[in-house]
Chain A
């Protein structure tokens, strides 16, 4: 399968004197985490299918600095930001798409003040636009009639008020979209944000991801749809903790759409 993926880098584009329409910012999770890499590939398959003229930074990409900033290390964040902005500006990047809401939020909101001004889109928004422009078609396929609930990533939803793009895509799958008790602006966090992903939780009587998974399981979904690699990990762990792996799958929206097309 992998030989089918076309993933040009910005360096290659530059060597040919070309400029892609959009930069795909893969992010650390998308590059290194085994689960998230599958999301990255699913998204690239869709980009290839829709003939999107894109490129990645590849080895020139580096952490946006989000976890450092949320952990309180403003120095490290700004060092990362300034370095990344230099690379992005050298390539004259105008438009960025990413499958990670944390990268999305940081580049969109926190880079401009430091000299990085780009149009930034979350991959669900980008896929939605491909759909609207007729570059991509979605068929229900294997998800027709399945119950799917969407877990709002905090950094996409509350942080940036993006609630509809991922839901529109799920509806296009002809699936039954069911909402959890807490959704949209009242969505419950998966427990990973604010650098919690990288540390043990403080003492309490429950894990946040388990609490959120319980809310999801309550609506009896076949699939918990996610739009963030970290939420994905947290919800997958939650499903394991509740012994529901046989009944409920956690999948990124990009994976759902790619699978529906048998990509």
Chain B
């Protein structure tokens, strides 16, 4: 027997996994461009969140139809991939259905795979119809034009083809069909190929087998370029998601230092700032104007976003025709991060200022100031992404670095500064209501 197929298989496998690994490294490097934050607290709760939200899909089902279909595809995909293990062993060692030695267990397994593959196929067709025929509003918002729209469909086509190949592979496997167990679905496909010689059937089976495994490897490598990364990143993202009440915004530490200094009568305001041990005085920048100013968790959020648009469809600003779309905030953050990453790749590992930034070139004033900070987007996200935190960080940049708040907000803030209320009333009149 020729070992050429085995060698070919090994080459394809190594190339597929190798290129994916390379891109994962790039992904990690890009995420690490973000500010460091400490998320090492309360590990048990974090594991629980990951188990409940990512593994258990708890937030998906708040929309029952999409949630149910998604669970089918999710379970199907995870379980059918056990089959990939067999394919890899068969491919490398020239065996055929090596696990079939387990007899009845194998039949049960394959039977389950076949049912799931069929259900996944149906679910994916419904997904496609929701996107392209029913045209659900959230898939047709302005940020979904061009690549994001094609991306969504390409993923669905991939899944349809992979499931079909899996079933065809089983249907044309003469030996497997002869076992008459485990072929729950494929037995109904076999008649489509009736009248073909065993040789031809073998050809078809082999072709389907090869296309199936190369398809999976291509799909694996497609992830990095697609919104579909959520199938991997949903897990770390839900783990690192915030454990605080949604209403709580972080208090900027750099500001706390300055405020304490201003309020402390014992500090000499003219004293030279204490020298850093490294001798370098790092000037803190308040808020975020570009991706490097965001935390690495916020950047992980951006890569995790699968553009489902639940956030945007729940956003009061978006519902009333404002430009703000929380999904676009996440997509812009990722696009800019990718741009910065490519810049670093092209300049031997150093970022070369390209005169662009997240604020202005991607996200506009109008979007940022439309937010009511209501947390509907945060609540809606099935994988614990927080678009609000990015909006607030960018507002901080606008207000504290650029003094670029809308005029009315400047008035409000001046009032708070002068008389302790957002309106121009005297603090001494605060208790007047008592006697009115």
Residues on A close to B: CB < 8 A?
2, 5, 7, 9, 26, 28, 30-33, 37, 40-41, 56, 58-59, 61-63, 65, 67-76, 78-83, 105, 108-110, 113-114, 154-155, 158-161, 185-186, 188-189, 191-208, 211-212
State whether the Cβ of B58 lies closer than 8 Å to any Cβ in chain A. no
**B416 interface neighbour in A9, A26, A80, Cβ under 8 Å:** A80
**A110 interface neighbour in B251, B406, B413, Cβ under 8 Å:** B251
A74 touching B413 in the complex, CB below 8 Å, given contacts A158-B375, A188-B376, A199-B369: no
Chain A residues whose CB sits within 8 angstroms of the CB of B422 once the complex forms: 28, 63, 67, 197-198
User: How far apart are A230's CB and chain B's nearest CB, in angstroms?
Assistant: 10
Chain A residues whose CB sits within 8 angstroms of the CB of B375 once the complex forms: 154, 158-159
State whether the Cβ of B435 lies closer than 8 Å to any Cβ in chain A. yes
Tell me the B197-256 residues at the A interface (CB within 8 Å).
Answer: 244-249, 251-252, 255-256
User: How far apart are B379's CB and chain A's nearest CB, in angstroms?
Assistant: 5
In whole angstroms, how far apart are the Cα atoms of A78 and B378 in the complex? 25
Interface residue stretch chosen among B33-41, B154-162, B391-399:
B391-399
Chain B residues whose CB sits within 8 angstroms of the CB of A114 once the complex forms: 251, 256
In whole angstroms, how far apart are the Cα atoms of A221 and B394 in the complex? 40
In whole angstroms, how far apart are the Cα atoms of A196 and B320 in the complex? 14
User: How far apart are A57's CB and chain B's nearest CB, in angstroms?
Assistant: 8
B286 close to A74 (CB less than 8 A): yes
In whole angstroms, how far apart are the Cα atoms of A161 and B256 in the complex? 28
User: How far apart are A215's CB and chain B's nearest CB, in angstroms?
Assistant: 11
State whether the Cβ of B179 lies closer than 8 Å to any Cβ in chain A. no
Chain B residues whose CB sits within 8 angstroms of the CB of A56 once the complex forms: 431
Residues on B close to A: CB < 8 A?
62, 244-249, 251-252, 255-256, 258-260, 262-263, 286-287, 314, 316-317, 319-324, 366, 369-376, 378-379, 392, 394-400, 405-406, 408-409, 411-413, 416-417, 420-423, 425, 427-436
Chain A residues whose CB sits within 8 angstroms of the CB of B408 once the complex forms: 198-200
B374 close to A74 (CB less than 8 A): no
B323 close to A202 (CB less than 8 A): yes
In whole angstroms, how far apart are the Cα atoms of A72 and B422 in the complex? 15
Chain A residues whose CB sits within 8 angstroms of the CB of B394 once the complex forms: 72
**B376 interface neighbour in A32, A83, A158, Cβ under 8 Å:** A158
Chain B residues whose CB sits within 8 angstroms of the CB of A196 once the complex forms: 372
B420 close to A78 (CB less than 8 A): no
Chain A residues whose CB sits within 8 angstroms of the CB of B411 once the complex forms: 198
A74 close to B396 (CB less than 8 A): yes
A154 close to B374 (CB less than 8 A): yes
B395 close to A72 (CB less than 8 A): yes
**A203 interface neighbour in B62, B366, B396, Cβ under 8 Å:** B366
- Which chain B residue has the least Cβ–Cβ distance from A79? B259
A185 touching B413 in the complex, CB below 8 Å, given contacts A69-B249, A72-B398, A192-B372: no
Chain A residues whose CB sits within 8 angstroms of the CB of B435 once the complex forms: 2
A40 touching B400 in the complex, CB below 8 Å, given contacts A70-B373, A75-B258, A206-B320: no
B416 close to A65 (CB less than 8 A): yes
**A193 interface neighbour in B248, B321, B373, B416, Cβ under 8 Å:** B373
User: How far apart are A105's CB and chain B's nearest CB, in angstroms?
Assistant: 4
Q: 17 A-B residue contacts at CB 8 Å?
A: A31-B425, A31-B431, A32-B425, A62-B421, A68-B413, A72-B394, A75-B259, A79-B417, A108-B245, A109-B245, A154-B376, A159-B375, A160-B246, A201-B320, A202-B323, A211-B319, A212-B316
User: How far apart are A116's CB and chain B's nearest CB, in angstroms?
Assistant: 11
- Which chain B residue has the least Cβ–Cβ distance from A104? B247
Residue from B244, B370, B420 with most neighbouring chain A CB atoms (10 Å): B420
Given A78-B251, A208-B316: 12 more A-B contacts, CB < 8 Å: A2-B435, A32-B423, A59-B427, A61-B420, A63-B421, A71-B395, A75-B258, A159-B247, A198-B409, A199-B412, A201-B320, A203-B322
